[in-house]
Amino acid sequence: MTIGLKSKPLKQKQVQVDKVDIMEVIAQASDIVAPVWPLKNFIAVNPLQGLENLPFETAIAESGRIRNSVKNSSPGFDAVNRETIKWCSAFFDDGQATLAMPGRQAGLYRCFADLARFDQRLNRSAADDNFLKRLPGAPSVAIELCLDKLDIPGSQRSEFIRQSLAALPGWAGYLKWKSNWQSPEEYAKLPASLVDFVAVRLVLTCLLSPDATLDKSLEPSAPVNLDGIVAKENEFRDSLLRKLLPFAVRTEDKSLDRPKAQLVFCIDVRSEPFRRTIEAQNDYETLGFAGFFGIPVRIKPFGESHAHDSCPVLLKPGHEVEEHACSTHADRAEQYKKGRGLLSTWKGFYQSLKYNFATPFALVEMLGPWCGLSMMAKTFATHRYGRFRLSTADRFMPEVAVTPGLDHIEISRQADFGEQALRMMGLTARFAPLVVLCGHGSTTENNAFASALDCGACGGNHGGANARILASILNSDGVREILAERGIRIPSDTLFLAAEHDTTTDEMTLFEVEEMSGVEAELVASLRNDLAQARIENSFARSRNFDSKAIDSSEAFEITSLRSQDWAQVRPEWGLARNAAFVVGPRGLTSQMNLEGRCFLHSYDWQADTDGKFLTTILTAPMVVAQWINSQYFFSTIDPVAFGAGSKVTHNVTGKIGVMQGNASDLMHGLPLQSVYSSDETPYHEPMRLLTVVQAPKLRVDEIVRSQAVLQKLFGNGWVQLVCIDPTDGHAYLLSRDFEWQKQVF
């Protein structure tokens, strides 16, 4: 099927712009841009998220039409873009600039209106000066004034604003994130909305492109051929189902024999290969659960002054948890605070010299030789340099065992968190003596997109802190008493231990607990040895993705470790590249096969979820996040410039919030080319829409889909394919776009 983008543009509901409905107009027009998170907590998102109410093919066509119409804009279009970028870069700077723009607390439009008269590129005549001097105080009124001045008819104003937003989807998307997703406290520090953005852009249009009009061009963008993609999707789906179906009617082992340990990993596709490897080491069971472990909180790490949201962006944190040093590490904690204080002072001094007008050249002369030696060491003695840096850091800032402060959260609420997590993952009985909750993060050098490799379920942060919270909750005697009353009896000899999996190196850090019996200590020591062996074996398989030459496991381990420390390595890992499916079911459904790190695996026991409540949560939260991830990888691969971030080689970090290509581009809003391509021309990621496979009775799945608007949108419009493996008959059923189930026969 070849989709040529020759269809007529979709009819948008035309809304007259006036004082009352300007918010509605801009909200409607902003469907063409997706929210763009800043680099410090970069989150994958579908770049066509606002068009998900349309069929997949139609949304691509509409996006192409808008991009074409923007390209065909007036001669002053580039100048308007350039000035918009300049003002946005200055206003949203997050500490990179030496001198901050004055008056930012008043908001983007108000700040611009106060300062624009002093910009000689804008104020070029008496008429310009008079126009800028008389700008209204409210951005909505300024929008009306500008649309009148540009002589845009009322019937065209909504579409004109839409094209204005589509001209810079990265910067507009950043404003959309601020308006809809940033916390109220942080937003208040630097207020700016899409209304402000549109007002600023239209003022610039009046000054630099006064002849601008609505582009009604119906010229299509280059045709998008989905034949190859659809064929790959069908081939992958059939192959996966053939592997899964033999295990569809097998029930989980409900015997009283307890495994040696149970490890709960994030559903992240990078966890699947490591789960398979650790299961082969000993009598271990693994489970999959969203990496924030059902704890929607803000976390203030030990020794840091600011807290961060550590939960999926679809949720709002309900509590703030501060980490404290364990009593056994009091001396280390004091040393850590002193070392951190010295480091902060040095960094502040260095930054002041680096970005000051007068000192950068002297700084280069003074530090040049040392920086040169450091670069040589990083390049030619990467591993030794890494060990030296880690040992130096540990000397001044030693590792401190921490515990979360939960006293302000009622014990009944803690029990709610624990029960929800255990029931959703199907772990309500047969607890092992050791249950390890494994958060995850990543290690990478010289990478602006480092947070994109961390835990998306934790808001682009490491997930170890959330694991510590749930482990602390489930180790509480008070919580266990409440859970026992609710039908979940945790044995007294079961210890919950928090851990963090480094998805670059496969190193697993087991976090200490203050009190541990001799038996528990032996279990932990044995697990550490098995994890170390699993790390070596998994490194070998991972390294073969980078180098197909015959190498042994020790060499592979060294390669993986070096890759995480190499400051010049543009591909420390491919993140979630090649992700293709979201599988919901017990581990027994997938444990006997190599899924090649392509599947999100969420544990689920349909027999323990009689009312479908937990499956509803899984499909409307973790699966939606997986669809965002899948879509961003999909579109960043098919067009690395329009939907991706281009090449890392030419990235320029702006204001510490995002990257531009060169010194004045749109804010790049997707994944770097190196995250989805193995070379400049060869994709590593295979662009396929997400396949969701659920093991549950078909009737239950059908009821959930029909009751949830978000699922009807995603499945009905072809953004996600849904297959139900019905355990009652062992057959697979594919849900069509008209919500009819089609039995799959092989």
In this predicted model, what pLDDT tens digit does every residue of 464-523 receive, in sequence order?
Answer: 999 999 999 999 999 999 999 999 999 999 999 999 999 988 899 999 887 788 899 999
- CB-based contacts of 593: which residues, under 8 Å, 6+ apart? 243, 244
Q: How confident is the model at residue 6 (pLDDT cuts 50, 70, 90)?
A: very low
What's the pLDDT score for residue 382? 76
Amino acid at 200: V
* Mean pLDDT calculated for residue range 131-146: 95
Average pLDDT value for residue range 710-724: 98
Percent above pLDDT 70 for the chain: 91
Helices (H), 30-106: 56-71, 77-91
- Which domain-ending residue is among 355, 374, 396? 396
Cα 356-647-386 angle, rounded to 5 deg: 65
> What is the Rg, in whole angstroms, of the alpha carbon atoms belonging to the chain?
27
Is 246 among the domain residues?
Answer: yes
**Same structural domain, 157 and 245:** no
Is the per-residue pLDDT at 333 higher than 90? no
pLDDT band at 574 (very low <50, low <70, confident <90, very high): confident
- For residues 137 and 109, membership in a common domain is answered with yes
- SS3 annotation, 186-240: HHHHCCCCHHHHHHHHHHHHHHHCCCCCCCCCCCCCCCEECHHHHHHHHHHHHHH
| Residues facing residue 299 across a β-bridge | 308, 321
Final residue in a domain of this structure, among 365, 396, 427: 396
Contact status, residue 442 vs residue 375, Cβ threshold 8 Å: no
d(CA 463, CA 601): 17
- Ordered strands of the 599-602 beta sheet: 599-602, 581-584, 690-695, 720-726, 731-735, 741-744
Domain residue limits at 337 = 327-396
Closest CA to 284 of 292, 293, 294, 276: 276
Q: Is the dihedral of CA 132, 135, 140, 146 positive or negative?
A: negative
Look at the block and give the residue holding tokens 């266990």: 480
Poorest-confidence range of 94-98, 312-316, 670-674?
94-98
Residue after which a domain boundary falls, among 364, 396, 428:
396
- Indicate whether 163 pLDDT > 60: yes
Residue 213 in domain: no
Q: Mean pLDDT, the chain, as a whole number?
A: 88
CA atoms within 13 A on the CB side of 72: 15
Claim to verify: residue 134 and residue 232 sit in the same structural domain: no
Count how many domains the chain has: 3
Structure token digits, residue 594: 């190599």
Q: Which residues of 69-107 are buried (b: 16+ CB within 10 A; e: fewer)?
A: bbeebbebbebbbebbbebbbbbbbeeeeeeeeeebeeb
* Residue 697: predicted pLDDT: 96
User: Which amino acid is located at 212 in the chain?
Assistant: A
Instruction: Provide the percentage of residues in the chain whose pLDDT is more than 90.
Output: 68
535-555 residue pLDDT tens:
988 877 776 555 545 455 555
- Is the pLDDT reported for residue 324 higher than 70? yes
Residue 321 lies in a domain: no
Residue 192 sits in the same domain as residue 230: no
The residues facing 509 across adjacent strands are: 500
The residue type found at 54 is L
Q: Are residues 189 and 146 in the same domain?
A: yes
Task: Look at 217 and 656; give whichever has higher pLDDT.
Answer: 656
* Arithmetic mean of pLDDT, 357-377: 76
Same domain as 247, residue 331: no
Q: Does any domain span residue 414? A: no
Predicted confidence at residue 670, as pLDDT, reads 93
Query: Which single residue is written with the structure tokens 């989709």?
Result: 3
Residue 454 — very low, low, confident or very high, per pLDDT cuts 50/70/90?
Answer: very high
Q: Report yes or no on 561 lying in a domain.
A: no
Q: Are residues 178 and 249 in the same domain?
A: no
**Domain shared by 238 and 204, yes or no:** no
Q: pTM above 0.85?
A: yes
Residues 230, 204 share a domain:
no
* pLDDT tens by residue, 10-48: 333 444 444 448 888 999 999 999 999 999 999 999 999
In a domain, 202, yes or no: yes
pLDDT tens-digit series, residues 214-263? 877 655 555 567 888 999 999 999 999 999 999 987 655 555 689 999 99
> Is 231 found in the same domain as 125?
no
Tell me whether residue 114 is in a domain: yes
Q: Residue 553: inside a domain, yes or no?
A: no
252 and 343 assigned to the same domain: no
pLDDT tens per residue across span 636-652: 999 999 999 999 889 99
Instruction: Tell me, yes or no, whether 609 and 735 share the same domain.
Output: yes
Please, what is the end-to-end C-alpha distance for the chain in angstroms?
24
